[in-house]
Structure 1
Amino acid sequence: MHQPPPRVGLFVDWLMDPYQTAVLAGARAAAEEWGASLIAFPGGILGSPHRNGAQRNHLFDVAGREQLDAVVVLGGTLGNHLGVEALAELCAQFRGKPVVSIAVEVPGCSLVRVNNGAGMREALEHLIRQHSRRRVAFIRGPRANAEAEARFSAYREALEGAGLPLDEALVAPGAFQRSCGRDAVRHWLDERRIPVGELDAIVGAADLMVLGALDELTERGVRVPEDVALVGFDDIDQARFTTPPLSTVRQPLFEQGREAVRMALLQINGEQSTGSQREPERLELPTRFVGRRSCGCFSREPAEGSFPPISSRLSLNAQLVARRQILRAELARASRGSFTGAGAGWEDRLLNALAEELDGRSGAFVDAYYRVLQAVMVAGGDLSVCHPVIGALRRQLLALVGDDAVTLRRVEHLLHELRVMTSEILERHQAMQRIQAEARARELSQVSARLVAALEFDRLTASIREELPRLGIGSCLVVRYVDAEHVEPVAGYLPGGEEVPRSRYPAKEIVPRAIFDEAAAVQLTLIPLSFDGHPFGYVVFELGQLDGHVYESLGEIIGAALRSAGLTAILARTTGSSHPLAAREAAGTPTT
């Protein structure tokens, strides 16, 4: 009998956050590679009033252990309010199954994390030594977050190592939100009345907070980096494209999601083959400082080592063969996993084409590079790493060329062609992204308007079937809670546009087996529904190429449209639903 693909649950806070959506992207890539199903549960920060966390936590109850073969928990966000004890309690529900925590160590669970301290110390030492910044302020993260505390400890250690005192007046609280950066600047400049001239630099435990500080400083006319230098942590996409570009500590977000799911799937396979539970595993990934304009540097990707020239008596082609393994590793490292869309062996294809070019086949190298870029772009890879890839190749080739002036000019000419091509493709790609983003925004606005305008329930269900496919959502299921044991689809459509059957099914199934083919791997996300703070159900979206905020926004819109269509009162009258809000509306009790 054919074994159905394993199901991995990914527990996150929400999908509006670039940190969490980057981790989700890595998790999706690993699930696709392994032929596994992935279901995301953005159920809010455990017990937190922030972002309605406590109202979203019911999604974690939906994720029954019977239907998941393994769980990956983004501990770096979910435990920010109640701490590791709450995370341990959540993970204990899946005892006996592979559970992997990202960022935070949970007893009995496997762990994927980054070296927070090394990257933060490198950033602080760079500010102090290279830019002579002595009065360095710090925006902390949540005190219940182990990663935030590790970054703060590294800040204190770096000051101590440089012989600088720790001034508590320069330390501000934070919660990994952009608004925290604004609040920190106001706290220092307005409440403590610290002159800008006595604030050399601001370092934050997360990019979002530092970007908020940049917003506030810019509005006040404070120049960055001339007056105040800024450094963040994470290297989210916005860090590269803000003005000025943000210096930051890069942590491999995509890789954390990918490695956590890979670890969970390996454990599933190991347990199935041996019949016994595997011991928890640990993986620590490196962090690196990336200097950009906000600290006073011009864009500087971290150097990946250099090697002494090989004897000039060898031809460059012979040297390429001798150093092939090193060259391949340097290219792969510089790409940061973003060139996977080019297929396995893209490094060798480039190096082979370079060898052909040096043997006289003009255009071979540039043509091969163009094909790699096209494949990466089609796959949705991060093209911003193209210049670091070229930089890594240049460092290695210059070391091989040595003092051969003729070969040096030839290599520099080839690399210049790559830079020009990359800049042109990036410009077109960014313009196309803007056009597509504007089109998606218009489409989402139109879809939202039509959903909210559907004042009758039948019209709303028809609108969901008609409008959501326009956004590229392959299937959608709107589910209400019937009682503690059962749920029921009330709207939606299946792959291919077929209407969802209205029949109850056990809540522990998450999605009904009769609807989704168990033999096929799927990628889904659940978005919680609630009215007046009471959980009502959830929406199941098939994950596609849309940004996470689209699914979150659609969940809010569908929830509002359901209420406008009077669904809660209808259900209370026709099914005897015991849901508190439905019961109040059915009795005619006004709600706000």
Structure 2
Amino acid sequence: MNKNIGVFTAELNDAYQSAVWKGIVSQAQTRELGLVCFLGSRVKSPIATEQCSNIAYSLADKENIDGLIIISSAISTYLDFQAVTELFRIRSDLPQVSVGLGIPGIPSIIVDGRIGMVSVIRHLIEVHAKRSFALISGPSGHLEADARKKAFFDTLADYDITFDRRLMVEGSFEQRSGSRGVRALLAEGIPFDALVCLNDKMALGALDELSRHGISVPDDVALVGFDGIEEALFCQPPLTTVRQPLFELGAAAVEEVCALIQGGKGQNRYLNSSVRVGESCGCRHSWIPEAAAMDSFSKDLDEPDRDTMALLRSLIFEENAPAFLEFLEREATSDTYSGRDLRRLHTLLYAVQEELLSDDESGDRSILRRRLRLISTGLSRLAELTTRILSSRRLKEMERNFLARSIGAALAEAFEMDSIVKTLSKGLVSLGFSEAYLVIFLDSRDGKELSRVFPLPLEGDDPTAKGYVFKTTSLLPDQIDFDWKRKQWVLKPLVYQHEPLGYILLPVAVDDPALYDLLSKQISSTVKGARLLEQVRTHEKSLEEEVSRRTAELTKTNECLQTEVDKRIRLEQEVIDISNNTMNRIGQDLHDDLCQHLAGISMITEALKNSLDPGSHPYEVCTQINDLISNSVDRAKGIARGLVPVGLKENGFIAAVDTLLAALGKGNTIDMRLERSPDFFLKNDDRALQLYRIVQEALSNSIKHANCSHIVVKLHTQQKGNGRLIEIIDDGTGFSDKGEGDGMGLKIMRYRAEKAQVHLLIRNMEPGTTISCLIPQG
């Protein structure tokens, strides 16, 4: 049958799901079916990584599988019945089978757990006289948990046993919830003599917690579980539990989904549960059937066990030791793989032994002894086989875990996808995988979800090391030209916290299901690290490109600004030059033209006055006119000196300042003087002109506004080469608080200081004002 079956389950490292999975794999191989286990987690889990892992379920569709088996009892821990039903409705385009839970309209493979639960509670009541019960239930709303809980309460009611509701704690089917449940029950302070856990994992957690509190099982408290997982056989004491035929459950699911694919209508199948008596209830050597119960024991055997017992009996009666021991070894190995009770063969041999002892047909005691000796040899052989098989399994697990951790250490040093692929390729070969596929999710394009697949292991310079890009729903791309759908795979999602990264497809080739989880976690961390590094590099590259772009823009802008600044400086210089030229021309015109014209008028007026009689009115008028003209000439000359820095160009800055002081000193009573250092020198250039104007403006302000009696102009050379200093000091009233320091004259002074590249400082000395110009060295 050339079909591919998908399986939804939450954890292959869980004994319940692992046993069901083995049954599915065995039947799929028998029917030559392809198989993909979409290994997600519990739907709607509050744990972020589990919720993210459920992306595995979204990858299954008609494009990659022909039918679907959902182990609903495993993935629906946090779902109510309506939500579980909705889970199947989403995949209504595929033939579907439910395992563990009965879903309306969906063929379901169900174990009747009620029979087993009723039987184990009756066992505790009738055989061990238990009356005070405590219960660690499953998640509220979980269909299987609710059915088991109902059977528990119904059985207690049948025996008129009142249950104290304070002795019921809700669990989550996880081992740690069994430990928490015991702590909660003990905190109530209510004694109980029997503890019922609704699955074996919680029972194992409860057993550990009771032991930590010094409570002996079964002496103080009897303990029972549900499921019949292998770990329950090897705890101390061995756990009494309700055994579900988990291997058969998986095999039946494959048969049913095949019938649906072939067009059948499908039907529900019900398998029986049974009590597997251990020692945690109080029984001792419970796997050895008593002679008085042989008839009942034989009737309770299922058909395969009856056939096995018949063959054992035949080989023992024939005294065919080689065939007998070979058969035991073959059956023990098969039981180990299938998840069947490892004590099954022991029990069957003890049953045959009881038959021999109770009904010795031969009457020959030597024949009886030989047959009993053969049975004893078989029991010893079984004990040896069990120990060897379990030890071998444990050693293989340890070796694989060591190799897996070595792979993890090597992956931790890989920071790019090509090195990750090469490192993983070598590691998978060391673990015995002949083929695998690493798939990394890419960004969606045109609404399509795309991925890149890396076939593993690589050989030499394999061109596939760069991977193929393909549509994610295909699971694998068309470029991989082999019939992968005929093989058995485990699809394990790669997630980091709440981020899905991809998945890895590994063949069903190992007995250690924990290896899938370990590898996926190591690969996920490494892929996430590579992605972060790639993002950093991409971001770094984009930053470099952005910096280059912005630098080019800034360079262009700076060039434009520099052009504008140069243009402004040029325009300012042109304005200053025009202003200076205009001032020079006006000053020159005032001095050479207006003053000469006025002097001429004064001479004519003087001649007119001399022609008049002294003391006459016209004479007095001419005298007044002549005085006014002389005064106008002096004023015009003063204005001309203000406009034209007299002697600056010809005699230098110091002489020009000295001349300015002398000119301003005429006509007022202010004592003005110049003090200078012998080595003070100022080059006759534009800076000298600007500084001359600052001194001129400062002196004008002091004369007009300071009401001072002394003004000193100091020209100094600073010590230690710190430049030159010009100071204008008066002893006047200084600045008031009325904003006089922001007048036009001071603004002009500041502008000229900036133009001359000197530091201008104006200080109110109280009394007086000091205006300083520090000229930097050089």
TM-score range, shorter chain: 0.7 to 0.9
> Within 5 A, what are the aligned runs for 1:112-127?
112-127=109-124
Tell whether the 8 Å contact from 2:415 to 2:533 is kept in structure 1 after alignment: no
Q: What CA distance in whole angstroms lies between the structure 2 residues aligned with 1:243 and 1:107?
A: 41
Q: What CA distance in whole angstroms lies between the structure 2 residues aligned with 1:157 and 1:570?
A: 61
Q: What CA distance in whole angstroms lies between the structure 2 residues aligned with 1:437 and 1:355?
A: 40
Gaps in structure 2 of 5+ consecutive residues: 547-778
Q: What CA distance in whole angstroms lies between the structure 1 residues aligned with 2:158 and 2:468?
A: 66
2:387 is matched with 427
1:214 is matched with 207
- For residue 229 of structure 2, the aligned residue among 218, 227, 236 is 236
Q: What CA distance in whole angstroms lies between the structure 2 residues aligned with 1:193 and 1:68?
A: 54
Distance 1:495 1:421, change over 3 A: farther
Q: Per-residue deviation at 1:443?
A: 1.7
Amino acid aligned to 1:92? R
SS at structure 1 position matched to 2:468: coil
Distance 1:34 1:494, change over 3 A: farther
The 10-residue stretch of structure 1 (294-303 or 252-261) with the greater mean CA deviation from structure 2: 294-303
> Within 5 A, what are the aligned runs for 1:39-50?
39-50=36-47
Tell whether the 8 Å contact from 1:39 to 1:523 is kept in structure 2 after alignment: yes
Amino acid aligned to 2:304? A
Q: What CA distance in whole angstroms lies between the structure 1 residues aligned with 2:271 and 2:289?
A: 18
2:194 is matched with 201
> Within 5 A, what are the aligned runs for 1:549-588?
549-566=514-531, 569=534, 573=538
Tell whether the 8 Å contact from 1:65 to 1:94 is kept in structure 2 after alignment: no
Q: What CA distance in whole angstroms lies between the structure 2 residues aligned with 1:301 and 1:163?
A: 30
Q: Does 1:296 align with 2:282?
A: yes
- For residue 391 of structure 1, the aligned residue among 350, 367, 372 is 350
Q: What CA distance in whole angstroms lies between the structure 2 residues aligned with 1:374 and 1:163?
A: 43
Q: What CA distance in whole angstroms lies between the structure 1 residues aligned with 2:288 and 2:374?
A: 22
- 1:471-500 Cα distance to aligned partner (Å, 9 max, x none): 122322221223253332354415989656
Tell whether the 8 Å contact from 1:473 to 1:543 is kept in structure 2 after alignment: no
Q: What CA distance in whole angstroms lies between the structure 1 residues aligned with 2:387 and 2:310?
A: 27
- 1:561-585 Cα distance to aligned partner (Å, 9 max, x none): 11222367359959xxxxxxxx9xx
Tell whether the 8 Å contact from 2:321 to 2:374 is kept in structure 1 after alignment: no
Q: Per-residue deviation at 1:365?
A: 4.9
Distance 1:61 1:330, change over 3 A: closer
- For residue 133 of structure 2, the aligned residue among 116, 120, 136 is 136
Q: Does 1:515 align with 2:480?
A: yes
Matched pairs, number? 531
> Within 5 A, what are the aligned runs for 1:26-105?
26-50=23-47, 52-105=49-102
Query: What TM-score do you get using the length of structure 1 for normalisation?
Result: 0.82
Q: What CA distance in whole angstroms lies between the structure 2 residues aligned with 1:286 and 1:127?
A: 20
Q: What CA distance in whole angstroms lies between the structure 2 residues aligned with 1:296 and 1:188?
A: 21
Q: What CA distance in whole angstroms lies between the structure 2 residues aligned with 1:248 and 1:46?
A: 27
Distance 1:474 1:212, change over 3 A: same
2:413 is matched with 453
Distance 1:207 1:572, change over 3 A: farther
Tell whether the 8 Å contact from 1:288 to 1:302 is kept in structure 2 after alignment: no
Amino acid aligned to 1:509? S
* Greater C-alpha Rg: 2
Distance 1:125 1:119, change over 3 A: same
The 10-residue stretch of structure 1 (433-442 or 110-119) with the greater mean CA deviation from structure 2: 433-442
SS at structure 2 position matched to 1:233: strand
Q: What CA distance in whole angstroms lies between the structure 2 residues aligned with 1:403 and 1:169?
A: 61
Tell whether the 8 Å contact from 1:366 to 1:417 is kept in structure 2 after alignment: no
Q: What CA distance in whole angstroms lies between the structure 2 residues aligned with 1:526 and 1:571?
A: 30
Q: What CA distance in whole angstroms lies between the structure 2 residues aligned with 1:39 and 1:128?
A: 45
Q: Per-residue deviation at 1:164?
A: 0.5
Tell whether the 8 Å contact from 1:7 to 1:39 is kept in structure 2 after alignment: yes
Query: What TM-score do you get using the length of structure 2 for normalisation?
Result: 0.63
Tell whether the 8 Å contact from 2:313 to 2:352 is kept in structure 1 after alignment: no
Q: What CA distance in whole angstroms lies between the structure 2 residues aligned with 1:417 and 1:257?
A: 34
Amino acid aligned to 1:356? E
1:312 is matched with none
2:699 is matched with none
SS at structure 2 position matched to 1:108: coil
Q: Does 1:440 align with 2:421?
A: no
Amino acid aligned to 1:353? L
Q: What CA distance in whole angstroms lies between the structure 2 residues aligned with 1:520 and 1:171?
A: 47
- For residue 466 of structure 1, the aligned residue among 394, 414, 426 is 426
Q: Per-residue deviation at 1:377?
A: 8.2
1:487 is matched with 450
Q: What CA distance in whole angstroms lies between the structure 2 residues aligned with 1:24 and 1:568?
A: 38
> Within 5 A, what are the aligned runs for 1:269-280?
269=262, 271=263, 278-280=264-266
The 10-residue stretch of structure 1 (292-301 or 117-126) with the greater mean CA deviation from structure 2: 292-301
Q: Does 1:418 align with 2:378?
A: yes
- 1:403-442 Cα distance to aligned partner (Å, 9 max, x none): 9473544432321121122122223333333332322222
Amino acid aligned to 2:51? A
Q: What CA distance in whole angstroms lies between the structure 2 residues aligned with 1:279 and 1:523?
A: 26
Tell whether the 8 Å contact from 1:44 to 1:78 is kept in structure 2 after alignment: yes
Q: What CA distance in whole angstroms lies between the structure 1 residues aligned with 2:279 and 2:313?
A: 32
The 10-residue stretch of structure 1 (238-247 or 376-385) with the greater mean CA deviation from structure 2: 376-385
Gaps in structure 1 of 5+ consecutive residues: 272-277, 309-325, 335-344, 575-582, 588-592
SS at structure 1 position matched to 2:29: helix
2:318 is matched with 356
Q: Does 1:530 align with 2:516?
A: no
The 10-residue stretch of structure 1 (257-266 or 432-441) with the greater mean CA deviation from structure 2: 432-441
Q: Per-residue deviation at 1:62?
A: 0.7
SS at structure 2 position matched to 1:294: coil
Tell whether the 8 Å contact from 1:474 to 1:544 is kept in structure 2 after alignment: no
2:304 is matched with 332
Tell whether the 8 Å contact from 1:524 to 1:541 is kept in structure 2 after alignment: yes
SS at structure 2 position matched to 1:172: strand
Q: What CA distance in whole angstroms lies between the structure 2 residues aligned with 1:267 and 1:401?
A: 52
2:739 is matched with none
Q: Identify the structure with bigger relative contact order (alpha carbons < 8 Å, sequence gap 6+).
A: 1
Amino acid aligned to 2:283? C
1:339 is matched with none
Tell whether the 8 Å contact from 2:453 to 2:469 is kept in structure 1 after alignment: no
Q: Does 1:541 align with 2:506?
A: yes
Q: Per-residue deviation at 1:543?
A: 1.7
- Same amino acid, percent of matched pairs: 27
Tell whether the 8 Å contact from 2:494 to 2:501 is kept in structure 1 after alignment: yes
Tell whether the 8 Å contact from 1:354 to 1:364 is kept in structure 2 after alignment: no
SS at structure 2 position matched to 1:209: helix
Q: Does 1:369 align with 2:327?
A: yes
Q: Per-residue deviation at 1:110?
A: 0.3
- 1:320-342 Cα distance to aligned partner (Å, 9 max, x none): xxxxxx99x768227xxxxxxxx
RMSD over equivalenced CA pairs, Å: 3.2
Amino acid aligned to 1:292? G
Q: Per-residue deviation at 1:252?
A: 1.1
